[in-house]
A = this chain, B = another copy of it.
Amino acid sequence: MRQAHPMFATVGIMGVGLIGGSLGLTIQAHGLATRVLGSGRSVESLKTAQELGLIDEIVSEEELATRADLIIVCVPVAQSLALFSKIAKHLQPHALVIDVGSTKLDVIASAKQAFGEKVGQMIACHPIAGGAQHGPRAAKEDLFDKKQLIICPILENASKDISKIEQFWQLLGAHVFKMPALMHDHLFAAVSHLPHLLSYAMMLQIAQSPDADKKFVHAGAGFRDFTRIAGSSPEMWTDIAVANQVAILAELDGFLKIIEQMKHALKTKDTEKLQRMFQLASQSRNNWQVESTLTSPIHE
């Protein structure tokens, strides 16, 4: 639905990959901005984004920061500090900055360091949306529709600004949740970051084996689904892993304890124990599936 009055005169998108490009597309489709600026590392991506109509104009990062009423930072989380530092002094006093990173404590720490007393203008966001495809050509207008969007407010944020950003994401179709950054990073270490690491490791285990070719021929639908997330961007996930190192290592240790129990049960052929473990796991999985169809907005 197009808005009669755009929420923001000028939106600036820094990084026009899948997320940034989809934001440009969706913001324009919904009439949430009069003009959409784009900046980024890759001139090719920017040109593609402009050709596809995801952004109106290609500008430098400084110019974007000077002109935009809403700045959306869509770069790998490890680049946040450098980018925030570059734009800090150019921000208009009324401008808001949001990000889309998969980790929040580190992005907020970078924001505090770079923006100083202006840090209240930055509102940390995480859309639970993505896809195997990268780059502006993968942009989709419905990428955020019915997906979760987490806002991690900090004390310095004005509540009217948080409300405005909440409304912005809702207009893009997202279901907005608010939680502290510490809780966000803990939850996503468990349900997203660790599974990514395990999926990468499983893929490596096969790829590095002498009969990898044979194995890939016979891998089936279960393997395909289990390793789908191993196709994700190595750069982005290296950043996420390092940014959320503490929480991920804690989850990994918990996981390895369960694996040790399972391994012991298997070694001793303790079928009762094995079946009890598998039973609890499959019950949880099947209950979750049912509930998710009913209540959770993020499962396609």
Q: Is A298 an interface residue (CB 8 A)?
A: yes
Q: Is A155 an interface residue (CB 8 A)?
A: no
User: Bound state CA distance, A228 and B226, in angstroms?
Assistant: 7
Q: Is A300 an interface residue (CB 8 A)?
A: yes
Structural contact, A234 and B275, CB atoms closer than 8 A: yes
Q: Which label, helix, strand, loop or mixed, suits the secondary structure of the A interface?
A: helix
Contacts of A259 in B (CB 8 A): 197-198, 201, 252, 256
Contacts of A187 in B (CB 8 A): 211, 214-215, 218
Structural contact, A288 and B216, CB atoms closer than 8 A: yes
User: Bound state CA distance, A125 and B218, in angstroms?
Assistant: 14
Closest to A276 in B: B234
User: Bound state CA distance, A190 and B282, in angstroms?
Assistant: 21
Structural contact, B285 and A203, CB atoms closer than 8 A: yes
8 Å CB interface, A96-133 against B = 128
Contacts of A221 in B (CB 8 A): 298-300
Contacts of A263 in B (CB 8 A): 249, 252
- Nearest-neighbour CB distance to chain B for A230, whole angstroms, equals 4
Q: Which A residues have a C-beta under 8 Å from some C-beta of B? A: 78, 128, 148, 150, 177, 183, 187-188, 190-192, 194-209, 211-212, 214-235, 237-238, 241-242, 245, 248-249, 251-252, 254-256, 258-259, 262-263, 266-267, 269, 271, 274-275, 277-282, 284-286, 288-289, 291-292, 296, 298-300
List 10 additional A-B contacts (Cβ < 8 Å) besides A195-B226, A200-B262.
A187-B215, A187-B218, A190-B205, A194-B202, A201-B255, A201-B277, A205-B258, A212-B284, A235-B275, A256-B256
